[in-house]
Amino acid sequence: MPQYTEAKRRITEEEICASGFSTPLDAPTIPPFPFEFRNAEILTLTYRSDPRKMACLLPPPLELAGDVVLIHIYKMNDTDWLGPYGEANVMFGARLPSANAAGAYSSHLYLSSDAGVAHGREVHGQPKKLGVPSLAARGDAWVGTVSRNGIDIITGTLAYKQNRGDLAHLSSLVDFSNNFNLKAVDHIDGTPAIRQITSRRLTNVTVHECWEGPCTVELRPNIQAPVYRLPVVEMLNAFYWRADFTLVPGVILHDYLGA
């Protein structure tokens, strides 16, 4: 990505058309791949929901794979470009038989970073919105919350570091490392420009610690953040884990506008 200086010549069309390009010209918003997340703290809540209601939020030709919902509440402590911020990713198992692909579809995402919102929407097609995710130890419990419009739409708890966990157990519930998204972008004249199912995997994942135990999950209705449409039927376990990982380019699995 070209770097702006006072003495820099005018930008070229080739630079504009190169991968990783972003605006504004003199202070780009979107980080180019790859970029790293270091010492991220994550509280992952798991629960069973209603498959019929889950399927209503899943775009075809993706198919539902199970009844387990994951809510990742991230405390991003050190991220290239973005700095420290909070993020929450609500996802559940899905598959795309035509591409022989399985993973997790993100129905809702909330961040405290404007650059993170822009990157997720512009590049991956993730349904990101501004919100206030928070993760902290409150006495003898991990407490994760997600707020939007001044309302705590998600509250989750896990006992503080009582039982060692294994991230492989979490992955066996839902392969969350492979993330599906519906990317939708229009041309300026209102006609469809991009309609795709995209996929990306986290790489270079190093887990520093992992703890597991029973969790509580509370969802509160909000019309601008309708996670409540994935109702809690049975609370399962939560995982507190701390890790490093890298975000790299993904793939287009399905192109709705393709020939």
Q: For 13-54, what is each residue's pLDDT tens digit? A: 999 999 989 999 989 999 999 999 999 999 999 999 999 999
Residue 88: inside a domain: yes
Range of 163's domain?
Answer: 35-255
Cα angle, residue 103 at apex, residues 101 and 107 outer, rounded to 5°? 125
Tally of domains within the chain:
1
pLDDT surpasses 60 at 259? no
Q: Which residues are catalytic?
A: 128
Residue 121: inside a domain: yes
User: How confident is the model at residue 152, as a pLDDT?
Assistant: 98
- Residue 236 sits in a domain whose CATH number is 2.40.400.10
H-helix segments, 47-128: 51-56, 114-119
The 3-state DSSP class for residue 142 equals strand
CA-to-CA distance for 126 and 149, rounded, in angstroms? 20
Q: Which residues contact 96 (CB under 8 A, 6 or more apart)?
A: 61, 62, 63, 102, 180, 197, 253, 254
CB contact at 8 A, 224 and 146: no
Closest CA to 178 of 205, 206, 201, 198: 201
Mean pLDDT of 157-171: 96
Residue 100: inside a domain: yes
Mean pLDDT of 181-186: 97
Residue 6: inside a domain: no
User: How confident is the model at residue 9, as a pLDDT?
Assistant: 74
